[in-house]
Amino acid sequence: MGIYDFKETALDGSEVSLKDYEGKVLLVVNTATGCGFTPHYEPLEAMYKEYRDRGFEILDFPCNQFADQAPESDEEIHQFCQVKFGTEFPQFKKIDVNGETADPLFAYLATEKPFEGFGKGLKAKGLEKFANMNNKKFGDAAYIKWNFTKFLVDREGNVVARFEPTVDMDEVKKAVEAAL
């Protein structure tokens, strides 16, 4: 099984095959509107505007499994992102990324690029404490540790990198540029 075998649900309820994105560089992200990392939408949208004409797509999957940071409806989340950050990249229906109800795409991505830590520094240490408390209930199915985890997929469909939310967005941008 590969990335192009997955089907996801668009905001309008239609089914989207990831095969539609074959040949493009993808950044797949689980997001939330009330997270300390929500400002990542700004550099994500800037990257999207800069690189979409070169075959780059960001696939946004809102998730409410981390401290109830995305409790709104799909439409409210979409409006928030458009109004506050001007997002134009594809946003899908809200999903779970952990546990028995985890979206299979995220289980696959996390299996391809497992969690290796949040890095160093105070922000990373603080987040690790909250993430560990939150993810205990998911056990071995705690695939994603927090909102704004990003997976980079190359043009051939290979998952080439995983970026935890604590990774500087300039580092993410450099990896996207290299993949393009």
Q: What is the CATH number of the domain that holds 66?
A: 3.40.30.10
Catalytic residues: 35
d(CA 72, CA 141): 24
How would residue 135 be classed by pLDDT, with cut points 50, 70 and 90? confident
Which residue range is the domain that position 169 belongs to?
3-179
pLDDT digits (tens, 9 = 90+) for 46-94: 999 999 999 999 999 999 999 999 999 999 999 999 999 999 999 999 9
Pairing relationship of beta strands 7-9 and 25-31 according to DSSP bridges? unpaired
Model pTM? Answer: 0.95
Nearest to 87 by CA among 64, 66, 58: 58
Number of domains forming the structure of the chain: 1
Pairing relationship of beta strands 25-31 and 56-62 according to DSSP bridges? parallel
Q: Whole-number mean pLDDT of the chain?
A: 95
